[in-house]
Each structure stands twice: as structure tokens, then as C-alpha cells.
Chains A and B, each alone.
Chain A
Amino acid sequence: MQGTKTRLLTGNKAMAEAIKLEMERDPNVFVMGEDVGVYGGIFGSTEGLFQQFGSDRVIDTPISETAFIGAAIGAATEGMRPIVELMFVDFFGVCMDQIYNHMAKIPYMSGGRVKLPIVLMTAVGGGYSDAAQHSQTLYATFAHLPGMKVVAPSTPYDLKGMMISAIRDDNPVVFMFHKTLQGLGWMDQLDASVGHVPEEAYTVPLGKANVVREGKDITIVGIQMTTHHALEAAKKLEQEGIEAEVIDLRSLVPLDRETILQSIKKTHRLLVVDEDYLSYGMTAEIAAIAAEEGLYDLEAPVKRLAVPDVPIPFSRPLEQFVLPNAEKIYQEAVKLVNE
């Protein structure tokens, strides 16, 4: 992105712009959730929408996730295209029945006769001492259950393009956005939370990973924050003469197996990094794919780096200990390349 063509937006503004454009385009699109109205979403995902579209289309709900997520299902069966916000993904416990027993299964159980074009957007991620009930990503919890597309974009450009794809998709899409990548003034200021975003509507496909850095010595697969950590680690690795290829997964379901397998054909080494729990998670899934379909391309065992199967602790040193970061990725990558 150079010169006058660059149009910088934060992650949250990119998301809100996507929703705004789709609401202008299609009167069936509307937003429902807690504090999505005047407040503009606790993490800014609906900033400015209430002022433009009013309370009929940007609806503040009571703290009743079961009812409003269930209502999105009912409205979708009537031809509406609801976007509902689950404020923190951690709150899934009070409404998971509607999400996985109904939203995810009704299209299948109806033999494809019932379409549910719903976007369930939800904030994920830690790193700012919000403790065990407000810091999870739960990527794998949702990705494990059939019937929902599950995406987790990492840049303002992808947040906008994938949100537009999600709204236009006729299937339920769980759209996870990372709090720290929203570019909010009251959180850590990261360069990665600001980026070029074209003004017009455009789509980024769901189910396609992105090779964000090419390299020949090792493949590092990340998602959202861990992609950015991996890119930072790759810079340091470069100084050691190690060329890391970094893949931003972007989408958990559908999963772009091909991009990962192509990369390990080239690098022969695989490190998978996740901000979710280690066991039974995304890192395990990708390691299994590599073992089943790419084992002979590997010259060393697959390495995984993720939250070591404890809830996210509150105190800063404890939390920083369990979360992946660039330094940990760098250390693991060096070890792996030297194996």
C-alpha cells in the first residue's frame, strides 16, 4: 500500500464499515445484541451504525443471549439476514444450545430446506488481564461442531472483506474478532490493528488461508494474534538466516488444508501456534493433517505452541506465561530448524 491510495482504518472500523455497506445494500440485514446500539458495540464492531440506521435495524437487546440468538434463527427462517453479537465468546455457556443444537443443525436436519443466513460475531482473545471468563478464544470449541463456518480474520482488510462474505453467505457463520486487533484506544496499541482498507465493498473468501510471508526453512501456522506474533518472530529468525513461511489461517471451518500441505512440501518443517487451549485444538487438527497427508514431506516432528491447558489466569506474569508470543515462537522455531 503506498502513497495517496492508502486508507488506514482500525479493525473495528473496518468491520463496522462492512456491516454498514451490507445494510445499505440489503434491507433484510440487521444487527442485534447487547450494547450494539448507541454504544456501538463494546469492541466497536457496530460503531456509527445506530446513528445511520436507527433502533429498528440496530437493536439493543436485554442480556438474554438464548432469546436473541434464538430469535436470529427465527428471523432468518423468515428471510431476514441477522447479525447477532455475543459480546465475549466466553458467554457461549449461557446460549450454546441455540448455537450448536439449532443454528448449526437445522439446515442439515431439514435436508437443506431451511437456510439460516446468520452471522454470529463475537469477541475473542486475552493478553490484557481480563482473566478466565473474558479472555478465551475457544476457536476449537466452535470449529469442532459441524454446521457452522468459523472464521477469525487478523487484519482490518480481512475483517471487512470476510464480514461482507459472511453476511452474504446463506449458512451460519461464527465471525470471531480479536479484541486487541480492533485498534481500540483503551487497549494495547498494535500496528497490526490498523491497516489499509479500500472504501468500496469487496469480499475475501471464507475458507482460504493466506501466506503472509514466504520462506523456505519452516512453516509457521498462526491465527489472529498468533499470526502477528509469528510475523514478528520471522523477522528475528531472518537475522539468524532462517526463512520462515507464515500462514494466516483466517478460517477454521472450512479449513484450507491445501495451503498448509503445499507449504510443508516446500519447508519440510511445521510449527503451529494457537491462542486457544493446546489439547484437542486447532494445533492438534493441523498436526493430524500433516501426519495423515504430508508426513513424508516432513523432516522433523510437528511442534505445537498453545495455551497449556489451564484457564487464562489474571495476574500479568501468569497470563503472559501461558499465552504464546513472538519470543516463544522464535525459540521453538530455532529448535525445530536445528533438529
Chain B
Amino acid sequence: MAISKNDLLWMYENMYKIRYYEDKMAEAYTEGKNPVFNIGAGPVPGEMHLATGQEPAAVGICVHLKKEDTVTSPHRPHHHAIAKGVDLNKMTAEIFGKETGLGKGKGGHMHLFDPDVKFSCGGIVGAGIPHALGAALAAKKKGKDWVAVSFIGEGAANQGAFHESLNMAALWNLPLIVVIENNQYGISVPKTASTSVASNDVRAAAYGIKGYYVKDNDPISMYEVSKEAVERARRGEGPSIIEIETYRYLGHFQGDPELYRDKNEVSLLRDKDPIIRLRNLLISEQNIAENDLDIIENKAKQEVDAAYQFARSSNYPNPEDALKDLYVS
């Protein structure tokens, strides 16, 4: 499949931006947590689930989406949010608990809502699938060609919500695409110890829908299968499942001692990093000058730096604002 240079550059830019964003978040998260790690201390308190290494899943499908398409995301949401075009300033401010944040500091990193680009996420495994199902139902009712993409981890494929939602999506022929990021672990438990099948794309057969599998964290293959799944959904040809073999370079959350895996595992993964692979491909096969990639990278860095600056310089909400926004009027 020929992929346009624009799409490849978009994917590269967003993968780079996500990586830089997460690296910076990992750093910010440690502030105030040294020498003793206290989860509630520092400018970014609470749990922190970073997506470093999982960029291909997000960009490979979001490149095909438009503003009107819905994305739901789980507890590890930053890569999806960035790829869907969530306002980076407001997102970062929310993660820092500031009044300028998406949810005025009431949500935090696992609860980011940007209705302007139809993005939401949540901290309960598998729970976003029904929300995407409902968005897909609304799209069909309105006669639009919009699609809904629900990103989940491989652990969520064992939740009841997965089965219920895919059955209904298939039954009603809805434009729902469930992207399963198999990052190999549900916190500490390897997939082989949690899942009865080698890959979840085969579960598509249970609903009579299409299943796709993407090997080795490859953004190009992700692009290709996602293109087909999105186009099929837009044409009214129903839902599909995409499982991508991806890798979580960091712990389940920051502060995870990672005693459940070999210390060398991550360095071997980093040796075949998808961002480096895509960079090399752009230079060797697309004749992009290194200098042009540097420009793209610098632009991404500046955007992320500005978002962190915005978040840090924003005010905290007034404490009594905790009592507001329970009901809308």
C-alpha cells in the first residue's frame, strides 16, 4: 500500500511528540518524590500511566480520523489524546490539577474529556467500549459517516464490556473499531497467563466481524489495517477488532518496581524502537532530509514545552470549587 508522505510525516511528528511528552511527564512526576517516593507528593500527584513505546497504535489509526470521529481511551491515555488532537495546554494543565485544565482539575490524568475533538478516557478497564458503542449508534442514527474508536489494553479483552459491546455493535452493524494494545502485561500478569487465545483478533469470529493483527509494534502495518477498518466502518460495513503487538517501556505506573520482568527486556525493545525505525524509513525510502525531520522534532518539542509551561504557570482551582459542576444547568 502506498502511503502518502504527508501521512507518514504526520505519524512521525505525532509519535515524536508523544514520546517527548511522556519523557517530560516522567521527569515532572518525579519532582517532589525524591528521595522518598510518595505517590501523593509533587506537582503531578496520583497514579501515572505512561505510554512510552506504544505510540504506533495511536498514530496508525488516528491519522485516518477526523474531528467528528469519537475516541475513547483507558487509564493510559496520553498517546491517544495527543494523536486525536486534544488541546495540549488544557490536557497538561489538567494533569497538573490546574483550573485551566480540561476538567478544571477535577479529572486528572486518567479522566481527560475534550468534547471539541470527541475524546474521553477513564480509569476502569474496558468501560470505554460501551461509550464508543453509543457514539457509533448515534452516528448511525444521525446518518453520518463518523466512526468510533475504542482503545483498550489486552487485559480489557477479558472484561464483560468487551463481549457485550462487540456483540451489540455487530448485531446493529455499527461503526465501532476496538483497538487492542497488547503491551504484553496486565500490570504484572503476562498475557499468556490471562488470555485463552494467542491474539484477540481471532475473537472477531465470535461476532462475525473483521479481526486484524499487527505484529511487532509496526506503525506502517497499523496504518494499513486501520485504513481498511475505518473505511469499512464509514461505508457501513460494520465493526472490527485490531490487535497490535506493542511494548510498554515503563512500568504499569511510574513507581512500579517491575519485578515481574527481565531487566534486559526493555533495552532489547528500545533497540528496535518504532520511532527510530520510522525515521530511518523516511530518510531512506521517502528521501526526507534529516534537517527536515529536525525541524519537525523541534516544532513538536516547542509545542510540548509550551504546554508544560502553561500548566505550571496556571493557578490551582479555589478549594471550594470542589463543590461545583456536579450538575449542569
Contact = CB atoms under 8 A, between A and B. Distances in A.
Contacts of A56: 141
Contacts of A52: none
Given A108-B325, A109-B103, A112-B325, A78 B165 contact: no
A110 B167 contact: no
B135 interface: yes
A106 B121 CA distance: 10
A301 B13 CA distance: 70
26 contacts: A64-B167, A66-B130, A66-B160, A69-B130, A70-B134, A74-B130, A75-B134, A76-B134, A77-B115, A77-B120, A78-B135, A78-B139, A80-B138, A80-B141, A97-B127, A102-B122, A106-B113, A107-B325, A107-B326, A107-B327, A108-B325, A109-B113, A110-B115, A113-B113, A114-B120, A147-B327
Nearest to A73: B131
A112 B322 CA distance: 12
A185 interface: no
Contacts of A171: 327-328
B133 A70 contact: yes
Interface string B157-176: 00011001101100100000
Contacts of A109: 103, 106-107, 111, 113
A77 B131 contact: yes
B311 to A, nearest CB: 15
B130 A67 contact: yes
Given A61-B168, A69-B130, A102-B127, A74 B160 contact: no
A185 B103 CA distance: 49
B167 A62 contact: yes
A76 B134 CA distance: 8
B307 interface: no
Given A62-B171, A109-B111, A70 B137 contact: no
Interface string A148-163: 0100000000000000
A110 B137 contact: no
A69 B104 CA distance: 27
Given A70-B134, A77-B120, A80-B141, A113 B161 contact: no
Contacts of A68: 130, 168
A75 B70 CA distance: 11
Interface residues of B, number: 44
A136 interface: no
A170 interface: yes
Interface residues of A, number: 41
Interface string A78-110: 111010000000000010011001100011111
Contact of B132 (A74, A79, A80, A108): A74
A67 B328 contact: no
A79 B138 CA distance: 8
A197 to B, nearest CB: 28
B77 interface: no
A110 B164 contact: no
A114 B324 contact: no
B124 A101 contact: yes
Interface string B135-164: 111110110000010000000000011001
Which of B118, B131, B327: most chain A Cβ within 10 A? B327
Contacts of A98: 127, 130
A111 interface: yes
Given A101-B122, A110-B103, A73 B113 contact: no
B161 A170 contact: no
B102 interface: yes
B318 interface: no
A115 interface: yes
Contact of B134 (A74, A112, A149): A74
B164 A64 contact: yes
Contacts of A76: 134
B326 A67 contact: no
A83 to B, nearest CB: 13
A43 B120 CA distance: 35
Given A66-B164, A67-B164, A113-B113, A101 B127 contact: yes
Nearest to A63: B164
B101 interface: yes
B94 to A, nearest CB: 9
B291 interface: no
B106 A75 contact: no
Given A62-B167, A67-B165, A97 B326 contact: no
Contact of A73 (B134, B141, B164): B134
A335 to B, nearest CB: 40
Contacts of A111: 101-107, 325
A79 B139 CA distance: 10
Interface in B307-327: 324-327
